[in-house]
């Protein structure tokens, strides 16, 4: 069957005619999407070298150095820096450079205190309905780390294993809240703490103490005692600040 349009010279109703301005809009939209994707990729690359400690707390870098290091053009790197500054990972000093989150008593307290607030609420909620299987598995993992520390010298691998376990408990408590706004801010806070921790990785003594503090938190949660769980979280927070040399009365 031949369409009527073949006889009349008119286009079928289903055919779309693109105005030159529409074509330009489509090109612009695709370009914007491409730029946004590159900017996001640049931010993730920047975030990775920050939380891994490849560039350290207090270190100053330039845009050109970041472009060369990360393999992105200037525009997406500028966007990545703006986003990193917005979440507190870097500070931009015009005409000077970009400084990675600087270590200070105020910065340490603010970030660990934020995590404490999440931890204490998560501990209370978890204690209301303890998941004994998960708690027992976490507890045993902490016991295993303590035994390794007693039987072998502290290696970089064991240090990383202990720090990963440390984060597992904090993530577990944060996830209990099931609040997307809290989750977003908690994730950003974790990145800042990662940057700060790379400045001073924990030693054998602190790891051992932290593991025991975590076990006390887990035991209190498992017993269903909200008050005890909150108290153990408070103790862990205080000991963490003490290890960093942060005195609340000096803030």
Q: How far apart are CA 19 and CA 21, in angstroms?
A: 5
pLDDT of amino acid 11:
40
In this prediction the pTM is: 0.83
What is the DSSP-derived secondary structure letter of residue 247?
-
Average pLDDT in the 217-239 region?
Answer: 98
Average pLDDT in the 87-103 region?
Answer: 95
Q: How far apart are CA 52 and CA 198, in angstroms?
A: 7
Burial (CB count within 10 angstroms: exposed 0-12, middle 13-18, buried 19+), residue 217: buried
CATH classification (class only), 31-100: mainly alpha
Mean of the per-residue pLDDT values for the chain?
Answer: 89
**Domains of the chain, residue spans:** 31-100, 105-245
Q: Tokens 């294993």 label which residue? A: 161
| 95 band by pLDDT with thresholds 50, 70 and 90 | confident
pLDDT of amino acid 33:
72
∠ Cα 209 215 221 (to 5°): 140
What is the DSSP-derived secondary structure letter of residue 249?
G
| 5 band by pLDDT with thresholds 50, 70 and 90 | very low
H or E stretch at 204:
helix 204-222
Q: Classify the phi-psi angles of 71: left when phi > 0, otherwise alpha if psi is within -120 to 50, otherwise beta.
A: left
Q: How far apart are CA 1 and CA 36, in angstroms?
A: 47
Q: How far apart are CA 159 and CA 150, in angstroms?
A: 13
State both tokens at 127: 């204690």
pLDDT of amino acid 20:
52
pLDDT of amino acid 18:
54
Residue (of 68, 87, 75, 63) closest to 38 by Cα position:
75
pLDDT digits (tens, 9 = 90+) for 125-182: 999 999 999 999 999 999 999 999 999 898 999 999 999 999 999 999 999 999 999 9
Better pLDDT: 102 or 8: 102
User: Over the range 139-170, which residues count as b (16 or more CB within 10 Å of their CB) and which as e?
Assistant: bebbeebeeebeeeebeeebbebbbebbeebb
Tell me yes or no: is domain 105-245 CATH 1.20.120.530: yes
């Amino acid at each position: 069957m031949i369409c009527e349009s073949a006889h009349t010279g008119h286009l079928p109703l289903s055919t779309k005619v693109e105005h030159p301005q529409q074509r330009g809009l489509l090109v612009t939209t695709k370009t914007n999407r491409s730029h946004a994707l590159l900017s996001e990729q640049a931010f993730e690359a920047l975030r990775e070298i920050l939380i891994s400690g490849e560039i350290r707390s207090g270190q100053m870098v330039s845009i050109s150095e970041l472009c060369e290091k990360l393999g992105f053009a200037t525009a997406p790197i500028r966007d990545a820096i703006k986003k990193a500054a917005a979440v507190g990972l870097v500070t931009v000093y015009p005409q000077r450079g970009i400084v990675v989150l600087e270590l200070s008593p105020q910065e340490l307290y603010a970030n660990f205190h934020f995590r404490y607030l999440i931890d204490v609420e998560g501990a209370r909620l978890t204690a209301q309905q303890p998941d004994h299987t998960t708690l027992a598995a976490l507890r045993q993992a902490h016991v295993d780390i303590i035994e390794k520390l007693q039987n072998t010298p502290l290696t970089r691998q064991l240090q990383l294993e202990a720090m990963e376990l440390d984060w597992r408990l904090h993530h577990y408590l944060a996830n209990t809240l099931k609040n997307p706004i809290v989750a977003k801010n908690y994730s950003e806070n974790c990145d800042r703490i990662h940057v700060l921790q790379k400045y001073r990785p924990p030693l054998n003594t602190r790891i051992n103490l932290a593991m025991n503090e975590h076990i006390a938190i887990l035991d209190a949660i498992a017993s269903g005692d909200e008050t005890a769980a909150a108290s153990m979280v408070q103790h862990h927070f205080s000991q963490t600040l003490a290890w960093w040399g942060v005195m609340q009365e000096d803030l």
